[in-house]
């Protein structure tokens, strides 16, 4: 890493991120997505207010804040994204406008040297065989700017999450059980799969993946330089 980084897992309406980054001046802060669709009961005003505060943080600190998108964000504004659990039809018009109006502030993936951040993670086989990515190029650049023929794999729901038999989920949907062999040659940071505390796995190909969907338990990840 080129600078200390705080990683905030799936938000789902929670505002604990404020405390987590309270002393973050000089640090990078990466949000892993899923800003809406809470597990607990929350008003639309609370949900949208929390997302607006995160967007304002990005606008005020554009070089420090990275906002990734998750499956619970994409389904509010992208026709390529399948609708997932807890989709709020009443909230959808306002949520869609908020994401579309600020789309330039969000991205699908972020990369710092050999560390890659996505919402759900990258299985090696998925990247090479399904997405048809090129390991000699920047992985994040390819994910952020997919060719038309790559979009379906990018947004795919794998078998473990109810998709077609034998398929592996893309970077918004990959299940922890589909990530036994994470992308070779990289350390990944991902959310999406709930854990009580930050959990790391190393695959047979040497790829590492750190699961950080633990904001709900009051936990987040701190990466030193």
Query: Which residue has 């790559």 as its token pair?
Result: 150
Q: Is the CB of residue 150 less than 8 Å from the CB of residue 127?
A: no
Length of the chain: 225
Q: Is the CB of residue 155 less than 8 Å from the CB of residue 172?
A: yes
Q: How confident is the model at residue 225 (pLDDT cuts 50, 70, 90)?
A: low
Query: Which residue has 């080129």 as its token pair?
Result: 2
Each residue's pLDDT tens digit, 37-58: 999 999 999 999 999 999 999 9
Q: Measure the CA–CA gap between 223 and 97, rounded to whole angstroms.
A: 33
Each residue's pLDDT tens digit, 47-88: 999 999 999 999 999 999 999 999 999 999 999 899 999 999
Q: How confident is the model at residue 24 (pLDDT cuts 50, 70, 90)?
A: confident
Share of the chain above pLDDT 90, in %: 96
* pLDDT, position 175: 97
Each residue's pLDDT tens digit, 129-186: 999 999 999 999 999 999 999 999 999 999 999 999 999 999 999 999 999 999 999 9
Q: How confident is the model at residue 25 (pLDDT cuts 50, 70, 90)?
A: confident
Angle at 51 between CA 46 and CA 56, to 5 degrees: 120
DSSP 66-79: EEE--HHHHTTT-T
Q: How confident is the model at residue 224 (pLDDT cuts 50, 70, 90)?
A: confident
Structure tokens given for 163 = 């998709």
Q: Is the CB of residue 74 less than 8 Å from the CB of residue 99?
A: no
What residues pair up with 29 in beta bridges, in sequence order?
6, 65
């Amino acid at each position: 890493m080129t600078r200390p980084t705080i990683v905030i897992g799936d938000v789902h309406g929670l505002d604990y991120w404020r405390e987590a980054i309270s002393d973050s001046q000089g640090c990078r802060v990466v949000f892993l997505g899923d800003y809406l669709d809470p597990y607990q009961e929350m008003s639309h005003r609370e949900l949208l207010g929390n997302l607006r505060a995160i967007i304002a943080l990005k606008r005020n600190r554009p070089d420090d804040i990275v906002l990734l998108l998750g499956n619970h964000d994409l389904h509010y504004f992208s026709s390529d994204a399948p609708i997932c659990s807890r989709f709020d039809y009443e909230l959808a018009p306002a949520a869609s406008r908020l994401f579309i109006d600020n789309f330039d502030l969000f991205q699908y993936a972020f990369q710092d040297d050999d560390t890659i951040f996505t919402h759900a993670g990258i299985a090696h086989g998925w990247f090479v065989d399904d997405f048809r990515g090129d390991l000699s190029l920047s992985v994040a650049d390819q994910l952020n700017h997919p060719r038309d023929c790559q979009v379906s794999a990018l947004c795919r729901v794998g078998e473990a999450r109810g998709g077609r038999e034998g398929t592996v989920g893309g970077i918004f949907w990959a299940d922890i059980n589909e990530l036994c062999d994470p992308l070779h040659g990289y350390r990944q940071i991902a959310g999406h799969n709930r854990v009580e505390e930050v959990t790391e796995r190393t695959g047979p190909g040497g790829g590492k993946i750190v699961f950080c969907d633990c904001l709900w338990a009051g936990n987040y990840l701190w990466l030193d330089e």
